[in-house]
Amino acid sequence: MNLLTAQPSVAIVGATGAVGREMLSILESRHFPVSTLRLFASPRSAGAEIPFRGEMHVVEPLREACADGVDIALFSAGKSISRTWAAPFVSSGAFVIDNSSCFRMDSGVPLVIPQVNPNALSAMRDRGIIAVPNCSTIIALVAVTPLHRAIGVERMIVSTYQAASGAGAAAMQELEQQAHAFAAGKEFSTPIFGRPYLFNLFSHNSAVGEDGFNEEERKLLLETRKIWDAPAMRVAATCVRVPVLRAHAESIHLEFSRATSEAEVRELLRHAEGVRIVDDRAANRFPEPLDATGGDHVLVGRIRMDPSVPDNRGVMLFVAGDQLRKGAALDAVEIAECLMARFGASHAKGSSLAGAQ
């Protein structure tokens, strides 16, 4: 086993993007041990400087031998970059934690949410690729997995309300620009989605297959099955873009293998790692994207029994989570902390997950 040093060399591929910048912020706030930091982005961003722990770091382009000396590489630059560059980083001796969809369904690549299946890393014996699940999958499974473990989910129906952040910084800028245009009485510019985003809802902008499901919906099904190691799990999803800048929300209907109660569900969620209950019926306060923005927890509320499922086997939830943080950057850093616990000379600081195996 090739151990990590107590102060590994860390690279971020896609450092100038929304998720890449969030990774930097999280590495700093969680006091992740870093000996040297390398920042990579597209050639047009090369030469830019980004601060980290009081020092400026120059952004580099990806090029031959750029992975030399890197121990942990956090990738968030899109599927094509991951397909081209992940292997050279692994060959040079790095763990690659990849945020794209490139490797998620590869049988030899762990697909990891540290609060859900950190044991998926136990099969690793040396440097390799670890995939970060899709943001909607992460947000759903952080909330639902404690219930699945205790009660046994047989069917999950999810409707998502996905923010602009899931489509990147340019999509967030498009929504903001449309708000300014509306205030000024001007025409909307629509280069990202090709339709008005402000005051509108539309099907998630991923490709729709012959079966009528888009890629985002298919990811929720296939990734849930892999993460739970439940190839027959019944999952149906409808994924929609909403005019929210940041943080996704999801309506989740669960059908269990046995009877349960609202009290049991609340108690399980109250003790669940990564979950915060926001469920004030009197004040009509439940999970909202604005409250989830910038936070590390998945907010869970609207907890109630589903009367359409017989024998008290159905429960309904509404959840919200920050797509850029727990849905992407935070999950990647938490995986890195798990790697430090498994392969490192000493545990990473600041993580309750450091000892997860």
* Residue numbers annotated as active site: 135, 248
Name the one residue in this structure whose structure tokens are 């040093």.
5
d(CA 40, CA 16): 8
Residues ≥6 apart with Cβ < 8 Å to 320: 139, 247, 248, 249, 250, 287, 288, 289, 291, 292, 298, 299
Name the one residue in this structure whose structure tokens are 């949410």.
113
d(CA 325, CA 329): 5
The burial of 104, by beta-carbon neighbours within 10 Å (0-12 exposed, 13-18 middle, 19 or more buried), is given as buried
Nearest by Cα to 23 from 140, 14, 117:
14
Tokens describing residue 41: 């982005």
Say if CB 198 and CB 243 are below 8 A apart. Answer: yes
d(CA 146, CA 265): 9
321 DSSP 8-state letter? E
